[in-house]
A and B are shown apart, each in its own frame.
Chain A
Amino acid sequence: MINNIGYVFLAAALAVSLYGVVVPHLGVVRNNWNLVRSAQFATILNLLLVLGASAVLMRGFLMDDFSIRFVWQNSSTDLPLGYKIAAFWGGMDGSLLFWELVLAGFAAVVAYSYQRSNREIIPYVIVVLNIIQVFLLFLLTTYSNPLGLQAPIPLEGRGLNPLLQHPSMAAHPPLLYLGYIGFSVPFAFAIASLIRGKLDNAWVVTTRRWTLFAWYSLIVGQMLGGQWAYEELGWGGYWGWDPVENAALMPWLTGTAFLHSIMLQEKRNMMKVWNVALIIITFSLSILGTFIVRSGVLNSVHAFARSEIGPAFLIFIALVMVASFYLMFLRIKLLESRHTAERLLSKESTFLLNNLFLVGIAFTVFLGTVFPLIAEAVRGTKLSIQAPFFNTIIGPLGVALLALLGLCTLIAWRHSNARALLRNLRLPLGVAVAAAALMALLGLRHPGALLVFSIAAFTSTVLVSDYLRSVLARARQQRQSLLSAAGDTIMRNQQRFGGLVIHLGVVFLFVGLTGNLLNSERILTLTLNQPVRVEHYTLLFKGMKEEQVRNARLRAAEIEVYRDGEFLETLRPARSFYPTQPDPLTEVAIRRTLAEDLYLVLASENAGGTVTIRARINPLVIWAWFAFPLFSVGVVAALLYRPRRLEAPETPKGLGYA
């Protein structure tokens, strides 16, 4: 009964969203603000309805109500409470409902927050956000109903995939969705501005925080996904260029390009067409991400079932892109800006270069991801694009981007003095050379790793010295103490400080990723109490131990780890047996230090009491994780910054009112 009510909520929400698509437009045409106001209110009503439907589904999970097919598919009575909640987005239907729930929340916030500051375009922002909701609610009430019922009612659920029972995995999908949904806000503002022909910088300035939020959610979501793969899948890495991973990476790359190029529009009134195009592409890619994950058209190691919603998603993507680009070209005269980069050696042109690289990388990833389909369509041959393609092409592009990051920080707005630039280059270049020489002396022989580390040293020197120089200048000019100048430099320009910290995070991320060039792996058979050496570690197998952990039975190999004769700790790589799963899952054991991870996987237990393990040494993994706190601090600082609104003289009369 209650479950049927949930479905009624969804159907009602669909009707309310349709209202929100049509009525704001009528309000503008008839110049009746009351109609717009009713659509504003409808966003609240819509949120309440979707919230109601979500509550019904959540109740199903908490009460083990297996009459709901989706609950039966993704939960079981023995599932720990936290994972029962996370099972909400453990499957497609529920994650679409989660998407709609967050979007409904965003729409309500947007409809009320910007009614004064963006009075002219807000009706159409509401329209665009409702169009997306109509699409999602259509899926939720037809192909992909999370509240679909079944009879007879099973006594036990099929259980959440044990691989997904991991804290990172509980947080990874919602964060990716937050990122995808976050981009729909700047997208909606861009489209609304196009519809109204009001193409000043308002939409860029207003939605800057939303873009930052979406950017941050996407990168953290991806890092958690990598963390999960590393700890749970046991192949020893965290990124494999699988289509599903690429799907999340592409909108993040174009979103990063967008975050940079909107600064050009905000500060210099440039790149207006480009920014509109970038947000259209970014939003399309975020829907494409879900399409790739759920449609099953590309071969992926991620075992998602091929679902019915693929064609519907593709039609929606096609409509979004055709309609958006049509609008963009309709208004292109208004968008063309009179400003261009004045000098080759200016921050403006480095931003162009940065955009070129980011979009180029995104395009390469896209091409590599869909190329198997192109090849099959054109030549009829099956092939797959695997890691070497991506690593050979994207690795160098990424490293070039890292170098560019340092270089760009040194170049000033408008025009930069070549001689000053050379002078400022001396210190970071010196540090880079010294770092490379030091590492070579310490025994690092891998040329690629040497190159990346020395570029990382270069870029971080630029970033840190850039900040220190501002502090010194401020202390001298304002006659302040160094400490208060250090604080003031941050508070006076939070945007710049945020950027600096995030960029430092990028350097750490690159250092961590580069560890992949240096890892090593061995397969060992361990006999009871017989030490085995793995590089500088000695492993001593002490026997098997069996225990019950939550809903799984765990068989662990107790392995003592020594280094230079000194006991470090006991690692317990294990295999866990879940009642609902036919095969055991590997539980990786990791000893993590600043320099490297010792990564043990229990491959098999053999006759005669020996065990076979895979022992990997993964250098510098934790360095990639240092990016996380830096990104967090940087994003918070950048969010504090409020750009001043630029009044645009360029909005022509007559076009504003359809």
Chain B
Amino acid sequence: MWKSWKFWLVMSGVVTVVGVLAYGFTVNPKFVKSPLLNGPAPNFTITRLGGGETLTLSELKGTPVLLNFWASWCLACRDEAHVLQAAHKLYEEGQGRLRVLGIAIQDTPEKSMAFARAFGKTYFLALDNVAGDISLSYGLYGVPETFFIDAQGIIRFKHVGAVTPQLVRNNLATLLAPNDEGKQ
């Protein structure tokens, strides 16, 4: 038995599995820290879903940005869709003080557009490329994930999971505050 490679293969498999699970005790899966926080938001250029309009993040300097990553297959994205749309209606269309951007990941144009129609999303929506370059540069953990970027292009806050009206209101209050550096 001790000379059987199968024996050692199976045993090392067992040890690996147990080791990985034991490692799980040392980390908290709910806690996702981001080195991007309080640093400059990685730049990207996106094309509007269903239209030719393109947008580059760096050109939005001077306006705070609410950047949301989503997908048509994502369940929590359904819960937060109306919250983001409300922020777009109030602050972007109503007051012109904010840009709301939504980038779909691991998705197809048809499905994400169907989702946007179903949930009445009218703000600037785009699709990340197949390689997921934008989501990689933002160190995405999953969807939905939302970044609050101030007028200087610095990420001030990020949230993993569906956003609530309360959360959006509170964080935008800081981002849009008149005495904020961003409004100078």
Contact = CB atoms under 8 A, between A and B. Distances in A.
Partners in one complex: yes
Interface of A: 235-237, 240, 291, 295-299, 310-311, 314, 317-318, 321-322, 325, 329-330, 332, 370, 372-374, 376-377, 381-384, 386-388, 391, 520-523, 603, 612, 614
- Most chain B beta-carbon contacts within 10 A, residue among A325, A382, A603: A382
A314 B14 contact: no
A523 B118 contact: yes
Given A325-B11, A382-B141, A386-B143, A240 B21 contact: no
30 contacts: A235-B75, A235-B78, A235-B79, A236-B78, A291-B21, A295-B24, A297-B21, A314-B18, A321-B14, A322-B11, A322-B14, A325-B10, A329-B1, A329-B6, A330-B1, A370-B20, A373-B20, A373-B24, A376-B23, A377-B23, A382-B139, A383-B142, A386-B73, A387-B73, A388-B71, A520-B114, A521-B78, A523-B118, A523-B119, A523-B120
B1 A523 contact: no
B27 interface: yes
For the complex of A and B, 8 pairs with smallest distance between CB atoms: A297-B24, A299-B29, A384-B142, A318-B18, A329-B7, A321-B14, A377-B23, A329-B1
Contacts of A383: 141-142
Given A295-B24, A322-B14, A374-B20, A523 B106 contact: no
A202 B5 CA distance: 29
A591 B59 CA distance: 50
Contact of A314 (B21, B73, B141): B21
Contacts of B119: 522-523
Contacts of B20: 370, 373-374, 377
B74 interface: yes
Given A291-B21, A298-B24, A332-B1, 18 more contacts: A235-B79, A237-B75, A297-B21, A297-B25, A299-B30, A311-B25, A321-B14, A325-B11, A329-B10, A330-B1, A376-B23, A377-B23, A382-B32, A386-B143, A387-B74, A391-B73, A521-B118, A612-B82
Given A235-B75, A329-B6, A384 B141 contact: yes
Interface residues of B, number: 36
A314 B23 CA distance: 11
Contacts of B4: 329, 332
A310 B75 contact: no
Contacts of B10: 325, 329
Nearest to B142: A384
B131 interface: no
Nearest to A320: B14
B20 to A, nearest CB: 5
A514 to B, nearest CB: 16
Interface string B56-89: 0000000000000001011100110110000000
A376 B1 contact: no
B130 interface: no
Contacts of B74: 386-387
B56 to A, nearest CB: 27
Nearest to A372: B29
A376 B75 contact: no
A512 to B, nearest CB: 19
B76 to A, nearest CB: 8
Interface string B126-153: 0000000000000101110000000000
Contacts of A295: 21, 24-25
Contacts of A298: 24, 29
Given A298-B24, A322-B11, A386-B143, A317 B78 contact: no
Nearest to A601: B78
Contacts of B32: 382
Contacts of B27: 373, 376
Nearest to A324: B14
A196 B19 CA distance: 31
Given A321-B14, A523-B81, A297 B75 contact: no
A218 to B, nearest CB: 21
B82 to A, nearest CB: 7
Interface string B1-40: 1001011001100100110111111010110100000000
B118 A520 contact: yes
A237 B142 CA distance: 19
A387 B79 CA distance: 17
B16 to A, nearest CB: 9
A317 B18 contact: yes
A388 B18 contact: no
Nearest to A313: B21
Nearest to A273: B6
Interface centre among B10, B74, B81, B119 (most CB of A within 10 A): B10
A236 B115 CA distance: 14
Contact of B21 (A237, A330, A370): A370
A212 to B, nearest CB: 27
A556 to B, nearest CB: 20
A81 B85 CA distance: 44
A381 B24 CA distance: 13
A404 B89 CA distance: 53
Contacts of B71: 388
A52 to B, nearest CB: 35
Nearest to B14: A321
Contacts of A381: 139
Contacts of A384: 141-142
Contacts of B25: 295, 297, 310-311
Interface string B77-104: 0110110000000000000000000000
A381 B79 CA distance: 27
Contacts of A236: 78
A591 B178 CA distance: 51
A472 to B, nearest CB: 47
B13 to A, nearest CB: 9
B9 to A, nearest CB: 10
A376 B141 CA distance: 12
Contacts of A603: 82
A118 B22 CA distance: 38
Contacts of A296: 29
A240 B75 contact: yes
Contacts of B79: 235
Contacts of B73: 386-388, 391
B73 to A, nearest CB: 6
A618 to B, nearest CB: 14
Nearest to A520: B118
B1 A373 contact: no
A374 B82 CA distance: 35
